Every structure is written in C-alpha cells, then in structure tokens.
Amino acid sequence: MTTLKNRKGFTLLELILVIGIVGTLSAIVVVAVNPTKQLRKTRDSERRSEIAELQKALNQYQIKNGDFPETILPGYGNAYPICQYGQTDDSCLNIDAIVPDYVSEIPIDPLAEVGALHTWYEVFQASGQAFVVAPRLGETMPVDYIARWRFTETSMGTFEDTSGNGYTASCTSTCPSAAGVASPNDGYAIQFPNLDSKYISFEDPLLSATEFTICARVYKNEYRSGSSIISDYSSVTRNYILGYEAPEGTPGSRFYVGTNNGDDATSIYLNGLTLNNWHHVCGVYVGADYHKFFIDDNSIVDNLGSDHAVMPPTPTTERMGAYSSRTFRGLIDDIRMYDRALSDEEIALLRNEANPITE
C-alpha cells in the first residue's frame, strides 16, 4: 500500500521556475498571435503588392501609348488620389483605361469601401515614371480628413477638395497672384501677393464639429498685421482664425476660437512663423475643454469656457489666405481639416511627412 509520505511534490524553486517559463511563453504567444497587429501586417502586405501592380501597369501603359491615361503631376507633393473603377470626379484620377490589358482590375485599399469614390491609393510621377503610394500604409498617418486642398492646380479658378467630399474652393476677382508655385516635397502651392483683398472662398465643412483640427504648410515672405492662413470669422459669427498675425511686424501668430454668445473669441499666441521659411501650422479645438496651437514642433495650449462652439457662417467670411481684407503675404499649401482633435503624435506625423519612395 502506498502512503502519502512516499509521494513526491514540486519544490518551491521548481514551482518558481515553471511559473517563470509559462509566463515567458505566454508573452511570446500573445505577441506572436496579436490579431490586430497581424491584420495590420496583412493589410500592409496587400497594399505593397497592389501599389506595385498599379505602378507597373501605369508605366507599361505609358510605354505603349506614349502617355498616361490621365495627367499625372510631377512631385510627391502633388500625389493625387486614384478613382475606383467606373468613378469619375475632379477629386481623383480615372485610370480605367489600364483595365484589362495592363491589370485585371483597379485595386483599392483594404480598408476602402467598395463602390466609393477613391481607392485610397495616390499617384505622382518623377522623371517620366509613375509612382503609386498608399497613404494608409502602417495605419498611423491621419488620413481621415474631411477636406483637403492640395493646390495642385497651375492656374487660378477652382481648387479641388481631394478628400472626395466636394468642398471645392474658388476665387474670381479676389484671386491670389499665382498657382503652381514650388512647395515642399516637390509639390505646388498658392502664392498670395503684397496686396489686400486677395483670398480664396470655401464652404466650411466644420460647422457641425464639436472638435476639429486644421493644418497647413505656409511660407511667409512679408508681415501683414491681421492676415491669416484660413478663417471663418466675423463680428456675428466667431468661429476660428488660424495663423492671425499679431503683433504687427513680428513672427508672432494666433489661433482664435469663437464663442456661441457673440462675445470676443479666445486666442492663443505663439512665436516662430519666421520669414522665408516653410512652416507647418495646426490649430486644434477640443470641444469646450481647450484649444492648442502648433508652429512646427512648438505648441501652446489654453483652456476654454463652455460657451465656445463652431457656429453657422456669415456669408463671404470663409476665406483662405485672408482675414477680412488682410491678405497673407507668401505661399500656402496643403490645408487639411479634421472633425476631431488630432493627437500630438499625429500632428508630428503630418509635419514630418516625406516621400516614401525616396526615404
């Protein structure tokens, strides 16, 4: 008969070792099978394969036909969205002509909705060769903007919202002096002259937003007190002004957020918008809590009261390149609007965005 005292158990040291080994193995397994990470890797692999396929098809089409199916602008800064098959819109390029001889179908980003306007792939050319990029690669870059004006146009008139949401901007007698002026990443920008009352009108997409972010790239070549990058502000409707210059003749700039009771707006001030240099500027509004202003990697934050809100606009007050009649002096490029508050990390990604083909 076997007695209890003849049975052997684990020593304390053995138990500790076993628990340690099990813990280590568990951590390795969790990392290895992390479903979110694995799905992202799978989507990125699909993106890389599809943009390579599209790029090859476009270049083969160009070799055989002497040109691309639609005009593809030079420079990563002018990368333009590609339409889904069968879709035609000024906010994207229709390249249906490459189907089926060069590619069986126009691929779309794994997260894009089938039948929507954009594929969420973009294309530009360099030295006569097409390059296709996937803005959602890595799924870290904030590409959920509700409006984006890249100013890739080389003449004045209308300026497409390349988000596909239809917020086309325009100008007539108030037009700036030049389009197609060189900007960062080999792109184009809009140039504003040393004259007042020159601006671009737009329909504000932020009027129902409880939070928002506005970002742009700017190059100031002269000071003009009260000028701004973009504004929707009047004595009646006090929504926002991004990049309001103050005080006069200094590199100081302000971000205004309005109120819903007609009182004066709250502004925050930041130095750093120096002359003859490109800068990345962002204004972030977080509901009634606070607003934050960025010039490059410098920022300032201020709390707000509960009476702040974005209101319906007063006609003719929605302006790019001006506040009232005071025109911005220099170049403006790539205005993006989000109906949420971007994080500091997301704004840093926008600020440091570079051509992935040459990185």
Contacts 24+ apart (CB under 8 A), 178-181: 179/151, 179/153, 179/154, 179/155, 180/153, 180/154, 180/155, 181/331
Q: Which of 165, 188, 168 is nearest to 178 (CA)?
A: 188
Report d(CA 228, CA 238) in Å as an integer: 15
**Strand partners of residue 147:** 337
pLDDT at 26: 58
Cα of 46 vs its chain's centroid, Å: 23
Asked if 211 and 285 count as a contact pair (C-beta separation under 8 A), the reply is: yes
Q: Which of 132, 104, 101, 100 is nearest to 119 (CA)?
A: 132
**Strand partners of residue 82:** 93
**Strand partners of residue 295:** 281, 298
Q: Who's near 22: CB < 8 A, 6+ residues apart?
A: none
pTM for the structure as a whole: 0.88
3-state helix, strand, coil in the chain (%, to 5): 20, 30, 45
- The residues spanned by each domain of the chain are 35-139, 147-351
Taking domain 147-351, whether its CATH number is 2.60.120.200 is answered by yes
Q: How far apart are the first and last CA of the chain?
A: 76
pLDDT at 273: 92
Report d(CA 223, CA 23) in Å as an integer: 62
Instruction: Specify the 3-state DSSP secondary structure of 158.
Output: strand
pLDDT at 266: 81
> The dihedral of CA 197, 202, 208, 210: what is its sign?
negative
Report d(CA 237, CA 343) in Å as an integer: 27
Q: What is the mean pLDDT of each run of 10 residues along the chain (359 residues)?
A: 49 66 60 75 96 98 97 97 97 98 97 96 96 96 97 96 97 95 96 95 86 96 93 80 86 82 75 95 86 95 69 70 94 97 97 84
State the number of CA atoms in the 13 A half-sphere of 169 facing the CB: 30
Cα of 334 vs its chain's centroid, Å: 8
Instruction: Specify the 3-state DSSP secondary structure of 228.
Output: coil
Q: Who's near 140: CB < 8 A, 6+ residues apart?
A: 349
pLDDT at 311: 61
Q: Which of 131, 129, 107 is nearest to 63 (CA)?
A: 129
pLDDT at 191: 98
